[in-house]
């Protein structure tokens, strides 16, 4: 998937970036660290989910620029793509957003401190089924930003789903504490 995006987005020359064959790395942070960086160090959260998902819920101050968008055109090729998606039960097929980098550049300077986030988040941690980790929209977007000259890019590992699970677990713990009372006694 990432290789298909490389052809559509401009890759900077080694002279403009100063990168000479080094492996480009995007640093990953968990939800707790991301919130700390946002509040204490003025990081921007760049949410790359579709606009509809963003409108449902997002962190305060997050900026939405979708990396993929719904298929917009009605050419023969696009109709065939829609049919292929529908064959697999996906009735809202997506395509790469050709204005992704332009939109980000209009909202954030290249030296901005950015945490890129999506629902799933992906990970670099290997698992038995995914020995090289798992890709995600935010991972791909973070690498695109780095490849195009952004210098301070982080990635939200595990995405909002992980954050939601952790928040739910914390709420359950807090509720259990309240039921037990301060000294472990149940309050009526």
| CATH for the stretch 2-159 | 3.40.250.10
Output the pTM of the full model.
0.69
**Chain Cα centroid distance, residue 134:** 12
DSSP assignment of 50-112 equals -HHHHHH---TT-EE--SEEE----SHHHHHHHHHHHHTT-SS-EEE-TTHHHHHHHHS-TT-
Per-residue pLDDT of the chain (188 residues), as tens digits, is 444 444 444 434 333 444 444 456 788 898 889 888 988 999 999 999 988 888 888 888 899 999 988 778 788 887 887 888 788 887 777 778 999 999 999 999 999 999 999 988 777 677 777 777 677 889 899 999 999 999 999 999 888 877 654 554 444 454 555 544 433 333 33
For residue 108, give the nearest of 148, 140, 139 by alpha carbon: 148
Asked if 171 contacts 177 with a C-beta cutoff of 8 angstroms, the reply is no
Residues that are catalytic: 118
Tokens matching residue 179: 């039921």
Domain chopping of the chain, boundaries: 2-159
Structure tokens at 29: 């942070």
Single out the residue of 179, 176, 183, 134 nearest to residue 159, CA to CA.
134
Give me the sign of the Cα torsion angle 107, 109, 114, 116: positive
CB 92 within 8 A of CB 70: yes
């Amino acid at each position: 998937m990432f290789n298909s995006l490389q052809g559509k987005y401009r890759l900077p020359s080694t002279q403009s970036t100063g990168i000479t064959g080094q492996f480009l790395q995007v640093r990953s942070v968990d939800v707790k660290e991301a919130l700390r960086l946002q509040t204490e160090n003025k990081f921007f959260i760049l949410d790359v989910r579709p606009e509809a998902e963003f409108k449902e819920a997002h962190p305060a101050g997050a900026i939405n620029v979708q990396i993929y968008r719904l298929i917009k055109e009605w050419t023969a090729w696009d109709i065939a793509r829609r049919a292929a998606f529908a064959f697999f039960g996906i009735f809202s097929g997506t395509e790469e957003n050709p204005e992704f980098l332009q939109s980000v550049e209009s909202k954030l300077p290249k030296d901005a401190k950015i945490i890129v986030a999506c629902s799933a988040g992906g990970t670099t941690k290997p698992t038995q089924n995914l020995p090289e980790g798992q890709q995600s929209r935010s991972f791909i977007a973070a690498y695109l930003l780095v490849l195009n000259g952004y210098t301070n890019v982080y990635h939200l590992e595990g995405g909002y789903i992980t954050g939601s699970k952790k928040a739910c677990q914390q709420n359950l713990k807090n509720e259990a504490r309240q039921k037990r009372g301060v000294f472990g006694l149940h309050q009526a």
